[in-house]
């Protein structure tokens, strides 16, 4: 009976860990703009600007959660009892971001609907200037995090915070322009509803992805039945059972399986071929495979769970 595992030639690192520098820059930009918007909003009495600053606070909290998760995950790798480290902290941070986004989006919609009955007057010029600064800052953060959001669910949570606030700043900017040009007070609540409805479905998508990882579902890109069939097609393999594929955190996918071989099969060759299949065709860098002859396989009880 043979056992083996496959992994890359270098030590694995989570996708978000490689993007920590960009996250720090985005964090600094969001914190600075948030402070400016709060100060101008309080000084002018602009509820719209204070609301946008509160939305910017979710950027600061969201990116801060992403950074904290990376730091925790890195430190945990040195602990002998934590064989997978604390990489799931990154997924929990993404889920927390989704909950935070949902709360903010729901509040924006609620507040906007309330304003339809008595729309307040908004100071157009200071709101316009502050919203322009916020928009510029969010555009910078957007480009910093855009590529990383495709690799890491943790970074995607922070990225969606930035995108939501970018749309929010754009909405406030449009509202300020309309107010300055026409004095129409309903611009603010209408744009508020549009922002909230835009954010909600993206929040659900992020939460669903995080929950898939936490529940240890197979990655969406991996067809488990197809993978089992392809492993079963490796020369010398008679049966595949106890196949499991899951995601530890974004960019770190793991597999395990039992491969039953024919009597004359070369177990080392079967192991190497199966590992190469997982690595090359499915991008799975870490796989733990148990290779067993047909006679020994009868003693291997497949898990009922």
| pLDDT value for 12 | 39
| pLDDT value for 177 | 85
Other Cβ atoms within 10 Å of 142 Cβ, number:
16
| pLDDT value for 58 | 67
Do residues 222 and 257 touch, judged by C-beta distance below 8 A? no
Rounded to 10°, the helix 124-151/20-44 angle is 160
pTM above 0.75, yes or no: no
**Fold type of domain 16-214:** Alpha-lytic protease prodomain-like (1.20.1510)
Do residues 238 and 263 touch, judged by C-beta distance below 8 A? no
| pLDDT value for 47 | 61
Question: Which residues belong to CATH 3.30.70.1350 in the chain?
Answer: 218-297
What span, in angstroms and rounded, lies between the C-alpha atoms of 290 and 2? 6
Do residues 236 and 277 touch, judged by C-beta distance below 8 A? no
Residue-by-residue pLDDT tens, the chain, 305 positions:
555 554 443 333 455 556 778 788 888 988 898 898 888 877 776 666 676 777 677 677 777 777 776 777 666 555 666 666 677 777 887 788 788 878 877 877 777 777 777 766 666 677 788 878 888 888 888 888 787 777 666 677 777 777 877 877 787 788 778 878 887 777 777 777 777 777 778 778 878 888 998 999 999 889 999 999 999 999 999 999 999 999 887 767 899 999 999 888 899 999 999 999 999 999 898 899 999 876 655 556 555 66
What span, in angstroms and rounded, lies between the C-alpha atoms of 17 and 23? 10
The helix (run of H) or strand (run of E) holding residue 177 is: helix 153-182
| pLDDT value for 227 | 95
* Sign, CA torsion 199/201/205/207: positive
| pLDDT value for 281 | 92
Architecture of the CATH domain 218-297: 2-Layer Sandwich (3.30)
Residue partners of 123: CB distance under 8 A and separation at least 6: 44, 45, 46
What span, in angstroms and rounded, lies between the C-alpha atoms of 299 and 150? 43
What span, in angstroms and rounded, lies between the C-alpha atoms of 182 and 180? 6
Question: Which residues belong to CATH 1.20.1510.10 in the chain?
Answer: 16-214
Residue partners of 199: CB distance under 8 A and separation at least 6: 101, 104, 105, 108, 164, 167
| pLDDT value for 10 | 37
What span, in angstroms and rounded, lies between the C-alpha atoms of 277 and 170? 47
What span, in angstroms and rounded, lies between the C-alpha atoms of 138 and 111? 23
| pLDDT value for 257 | 94
E strands, the chain, are: 2-6, 237-249, 252-261, 286-293
């Amino acid at each position: 009976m043979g056992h083996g595992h496959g992994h890359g030639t270098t030590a694995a690192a989570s996708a978000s860990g490689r993007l920590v520098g960009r996250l720090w820059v985005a964090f600094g930009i969001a914190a600075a703009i948030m402070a400016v918007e709060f100060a101008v909003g309080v000084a002018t009495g602009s509820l719209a600007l204070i609301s946008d600053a509160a939305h910017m606070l979710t950027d600061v909290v969201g990116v801060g959660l992403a950074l904290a998760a990376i730091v925790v995950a890195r430190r945990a790798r040195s602990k002998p009892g934590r064989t997978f480290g604390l990489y799931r902290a990154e997924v929990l941070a993404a889920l927390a971001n989704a909950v935070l986004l949902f709360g903010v989006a729901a509040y924006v919609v609620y507040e906007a609907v309330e304003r339809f009955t008595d729309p307040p007057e908004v100071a157009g010029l200071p709101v316009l200037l502050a919203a322009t600064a916020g928009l510029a800052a969010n555009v910078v953060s957007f480009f910093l995090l855009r590529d990383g959001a495709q690799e890491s669910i943790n970074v995607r949570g922070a990225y969606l915070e930035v995108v939501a606030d970018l749309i929010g700043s754009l909405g406030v900017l449009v509202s300020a322009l309309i107010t300055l040009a026409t004095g129409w007070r309903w611009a603010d609540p209408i744009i508020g509803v549009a922002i909230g409805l835009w954010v909600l479905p993206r929040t659900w998508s992020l939460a669903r992805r995080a929950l898939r990882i936490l529940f240890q579902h197979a990655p969406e890109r991996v067809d488990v039945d197809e993978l089992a069939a392809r492993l079963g097609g490796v020369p010398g393999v008679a049966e595949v059972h106890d196949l499991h594929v899951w995601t530890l955190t974004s960019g770190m996918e793991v597999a395990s399986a039992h491969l039953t071989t024919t009597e004359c099969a070369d177990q080392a060759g079967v192991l190497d071929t199966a590992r190469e299949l997982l690595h090359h065709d499915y991008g799975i860098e870490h796989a733990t495979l148990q290779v067993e002859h047909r006679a020994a396989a009868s003693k291997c009880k497949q898990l009922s769970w």
